[in-house]
């Protein structure tokens, strides 16, 4: 397979061995270049600009092997399902040009596993500022049908944060053409509240577990992501963000708007962050601060009820129109 994909503002080429099959949700982000700019631009200059934006800026080569190589460099981070390696600055191979990756702390390599498993299933290694080589363990190919197993091969968060885009753990809901993002630690009730909004307000879930947040035309938007948890709801759509709602379980329903200072630690805790890369980590903090300067964040202490929906709807300024229509 040799195809181009676009996730957020990151356009990349994926060259895979024949036996490597990306999951269905990942294929929703395939970028068909023949339709990307032809027929949609009013002038030749606009067409050229669109073509430049959508040309692949990074290439991943994915191959299969009986044994995984060990990435070059020193170990800089370790957890049960991941070991991160870093080559020293300027460690590009012969003939390579040092680029942004090297300037941001050197080229990275990773041994990637699954929590609870003793073996790694892939080796990711950046070969240059615009190219990475991924080696898959042959016996693990069958597990690539699982969304996070495949997506973890590409270190996408590393590319996206440099485009001022971050991944939020949330239920991404569309209501009246805007995104309402329910975020909280797992098992708190994101899916439950999303389902209640669908039942009582006629909303629609775009992704049940993740959203990519970034700016489009100066406004913060929620965008699609190829991982959706157990919800199995994954659409490649972008919508302006009405609000981020941090959830907690409570005996009574109460919604309050948070100050940026109150919201920061709650929101940050649900964003994918590579803390081992100081430059990227600091930039993530800056992106979150920018987000909080434009997007309202609420806390909703809630029950599993229609009242929880109406409590938040009133706080967000949606009023009671939907409830009135049902009567």
Answer with the one of 163, 188, 216 that is the final residue of a domain: 163
Distance CA 270, CA 167 (A): 8
> 10 Å Cβ neighbour count for 247?
24
Q: What angle do CA 102, 104, 108 make, to 5 degrees?
A: 60
Segments forming the whole domain that contains residue 289: 166-326
- Are 96 and 192 part of one and the same domain? no
The CATH number assigned to the domain holding 240 equals 3.90.228.20
- Tell me, what's the pLDDT at 37? 38
Same domain (yes/no): 156, 171:
no
Same domain (yes/no): 193, 134: no
284: which residues sit within 8 A by CB, 6+ positions away?
Answer: 161, 166, 271, 273
Do 60 and 14 belong together in one domain? yes
Angle at 262 (CA atoms; ends 256, 264), nearest 5 degrees: 120
Same-domain status, 157 and 172: no
Number of domains in the chain: 2
204 with 315, same domain: the answer is yes
Angle between helices 190-201 and 306-315 (to 10 degrees): 80
The pTM of the full predicted model, rounded to 2 decimals, is: 0.87
Are 143 and 70 in the same domain?
Answer: yes
Residues 157 and 275 in one domain: no
Check whether residue 174 and residue 306 sit in a common domain: yes
Residues 80 and 91 in one domain: yes
- One domain, residues 72 and 137: yes
Cα within 13 Å of Cα(179), Cβ side: 31
Q: What is the pLDDT of residue 289?
A: 97
Closest by CA to 50, choosing from 15, 6, 13, is 6
Task: Among 101, 133, 163, give the residue marking a domain's end.
Answer: 163
Residues of the chain short of pLDDT 50, as ranges, are: 35-42, 47, 90-103, 322-327
């Amino acid at each position: 397979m040799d195809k181009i994909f676009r996730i957020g503002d990151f356009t990349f080429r994926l060259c895979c061995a024949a036996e490597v099959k990306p999951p269905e949700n990942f294929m929703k982000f395939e970028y068909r270049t023949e339709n990307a700019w032809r027929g949609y631009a009013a002038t030749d200059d606009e067409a050229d600009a669109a073509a430049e934006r959508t040309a692949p800026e990074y290439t991943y080569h994915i191959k299969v092997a009986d044994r995984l190589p060990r990435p070059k460099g020193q170990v800089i981070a370790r957890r049960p399902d991941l070991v991160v390696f870093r080559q020293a600055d300027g460690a590009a191979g012969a003939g390579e040009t040092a680029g942004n990756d090297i300037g941001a702390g050197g080229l990275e390599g990773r041994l990637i596993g699954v929590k609870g498993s003793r073996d790694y299933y892939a080796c990711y290694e950046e070969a240059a500022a615009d190219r990475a080589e991924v080696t898959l363990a042959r016996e693990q190919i069958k597990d690539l049908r699982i969304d996070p197993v495949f997506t973890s091969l590409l270190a996408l968060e590393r590319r996206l944060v440099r485009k001022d885009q971050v991944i939020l753990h949330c239920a991404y809901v569309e209501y009246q053409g805007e995104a309402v993002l329910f975020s909280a630690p797992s098992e708190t009730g994101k899916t439950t509240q999303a389902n209640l909004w669908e039942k009582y307000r006629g909303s629609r879930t775009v992704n049940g577990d993740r959203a990519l947040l970034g700016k489009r035309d100066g406004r913060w938007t929620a965008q699609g992501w190829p991982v959706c948890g157990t919800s199995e709801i994954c659409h490649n759509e972008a919508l302006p963000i009405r609000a981020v709602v941090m959830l907690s379980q409570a005996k009574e329903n109460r919604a309050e708007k948070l100050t940026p200072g109150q919201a920061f630690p709650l929101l940050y805790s649900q964003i994918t962050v590579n803390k081992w890369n100081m430059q990227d980590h600091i930039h993530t903090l800056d992106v979150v601060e920018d987000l909080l300067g434009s997007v309202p964040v609420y806390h909703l202490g809630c029950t599993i009820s229609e009242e929880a929906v109406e409590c938040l709807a009133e706080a967000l300024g949606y009023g009671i129109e939907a409830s009135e229509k049902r009567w």
